[in-house]
Chains A and B, each alone.
Chain A
Amino acid sequence: MSVKPDKAGSQPHGAPGVHTKPLWSVRPASDREAGDAVVSNFLLHWFPAKTYKPSLDWNYSFWLGTASAALLLLVTVSGLPLLFLYVPSVERAYGSVKDIEYVTTFGFWIRAVHRLSAHLMVAVVFLHMVRVFLTGAYKNGRGQGQKREQNWVLGVGLLLLTLLLSFTGYLLPWDQLAYWAITVGTNIASSIPFVGSAIRELLLGGRAIDQATLIRFYVLHVIALPAAIGVIFLYHMWRVRKDGGLARADRATLLPEKAAEAPSKTKTYTLLGVARGTSPAVKASTLERADTTVNSVPDLTRRILIVVLAIFALVSIASVFYHAPLEEPANALVTPNPAKAPWYFLWLQEIVTDTTVKIGSFTINGAFLGGVLLPGALVFLLTLWPWLDKSAPGSAGVWFPKDRRTQNAVFLAFVAGVLVLTFIGTFCRGPYWHLYWPWQAWPELPTRI
């Protein structure tokens, strides 16, 4: 059962690290072939040669990170045809989206895939963050040189970028939702004391919402933000490797060593796959014990394939039945009633509704308190949390460890708060932002004819 050190000449198939199969081995015949498959293939080279079994569990990470990446891929791919079809002009944007909906072959489906995967991405990235928090996966375990807290900060950045991409995206059809979302969004920015109106003018490219605004948000949506999210995503993945994989893998070091195993001197491809001395000093013998690890190819790659393809299939099927909404053409003269942000911003809309405070004769606009200060403080706290969390390294990679009980409870309370506010905003708010039960009918809204 021991792994023999490779000797040149003992392998008729080629030199170490040279993989003889054209792509990679779907079913490698040996551990060596499995390892070579990873190293010699561009698409696989960011994976380790071996994977700690518990990291592969469905019910530890729920594969939310992989799902986020799959959705990012899907949203990017489905955005490509839309780039050719959408016209970023105030006069023609709405018509071009109507054309995509009605007369472009598969157009409505492509748009639905784009919309749906964007929505799902917001949800999945958020859940991924919740998972990482609850399992304390931003904590450094026993490896040396781990900087998981950096990766957490990158993750918070990715969440914000996901939200910004969604926000800039739903402005583009230039319908009522778009127009009034820009109005509200940029007015929140303008509530910042002293510099607010300057920021708003910068965002709008003027004082009125017009062509200059549309082209700004368009360029942000199709170039600036995707480039940013792409770069940070790659760095995020690289750090996962540098930090020794999932936090759960750190727990392998706690396993007792099997003394009988012959220690292997040279490991070209360890579990962590990092050849440098600064890599986490995890004893390879423990990690590569046959009962704790499997070959990444094909066991890890197969599961990744399952997650990615399943998401593609499900989004694709759902998109045939889901119709991406498109409201009336933008009309500066009429505000829709109720004017709702998309669901993932509704908790903020709720907060903005309730946070205008009067202290004596002094009034603080809810836009500033609830729209800038409060979310700003939340993001700030979230970013700094790994440094505030003083629990033991052993609590990394475990669901609900004892010494993180309080902080997990507080965090869940915040999450619950956001979810409740989102629920209220989505299902319980009607015309004039009045409260209605979800099953209660809204009063009939007047129409022209």
Chain B
Amino acid sequence: MSEPKSRREVFLKLGLGAGVAALGAQAVASLRSLVPNVSYDSPTTVKIGMPNDFPDGMKFLPDERLFVFREGKTLHAVSAVCTHLGCTVRAEALSAPETKDVSGKPLRLTHRFLCPCHGSKYAGDGTNVSGPAPKPLAWYHLSLSPDDGQVVVDLARAVERDFRFTLA
């Protein structure tokens, strides 16, 4: 007599227990809705202008947070995002530009970079010199857009510091 009763008991408890567990599962699963499935971010490859828009020396692009340097026919792009905590660093022109070997290639350094947030300092090639910055500023890949001939930067593609984009 007592055995079927206790089995019934187990079923009743199981029913309610599973139900409450299911309710909890739904509540937790609903939190999945807070993880975005689609992105409204701006694309990482951006057309930044015709080669002629970049004069010799440095040009700052605030939208992309990027310094584009031109030396004759070669271009390279250095990120303006501080590697410490993401503030935008400012460029300061050097009174006496110098040429240095960077990753085996000579590079004319015309500026240095200062971060307004926590005082990190970077040399003109992006090397972190002082302050809390843990690593050098990133360099990004440049190319020429085949359709309209604009310079294209790929902000998702960091490159080594011997990268130079040479205009034809």
Contact = CB atoms under 8 A, between A and B. Distances in A.
Interface string A294-312: 0000000000000001001
Interface string A309-321: 1001100100000
A110 B34 contact: no
A299 to B, nearest CB: 15
Range class of the A interface residue count: 10 to 19
Interface string B33-63: 1111110000000000000000000000000
Contacts of B20: 309
B27 interface: yes
B31 interface: yes
A106 B30 contact: yes
Given A104-B37, A105-B35, A105-B37, A81 B30 contact: yes
Contacts of B37: 103-105
Contact of B29 (A85, A103, A106): A106
A309 B38 CA distance: 34
A30 B26 CA distance: 36
A107 B33 contact: yes
B28 to A, nearest CB: 11
A106 B38 CA distance: 14
A84 B36 CA distance: 11
B102 interface: no
B23 A85 contact: no
A81 B38 contact: no
Nearest to A106: B33
Contact of A110 (B23, B33, B36): B33
A201 interface: no
A77 interface: yes
A99 interface: yes
Contacts of A103: 37-38
A105 B38 CA distance: 11
Contacts of B19: 309, 313
B5 interface: no
B32 interface: yes
Nearest to B35: A105
Contacts of A110: 30, 33
Contacts of A100: 33
Contacts of A84: 33-34
A106 B34 contact: no
A81 B31 contact: yes
Nearest to A108: B33
Contacts of A77: 27
Contact of A312 (B23, B29, B32, B36): B23
A104 to B, nearest CB: 5
Nearest to B38: A103
B34 A81 contact: yes
A229 B131 CA distance: 54
A101 to B, nearest CB: 12
Contact of B26 (A85, A99, A107, A316): A316
Contacts of B27: 77
A99 B30 CA distance: 15
A246 B154 CA distance: 70
Among A105, A107, A110, A312: residue with most chain B CB under 10 A? A105
Contacts of A316: 26
13 contacts: A81-B31, A81-B33, A81-B34, A84-B34, A85-B33, A99-B38, A104-B33, A104-B37, A106-B33, A309-B19, A309-B20, A313-B19, A316-B26
Given A100-B33, A105-B33, 16 more contacts: A77-B27, A81-B30, A81-B33, A81-B34, A84-B34, A99-B38, A103-B37, A104-B37, A106-B29, A106-B30, A106-B33, A110-B30, A110-B33, A309-B19, A312-B23, A316-B26
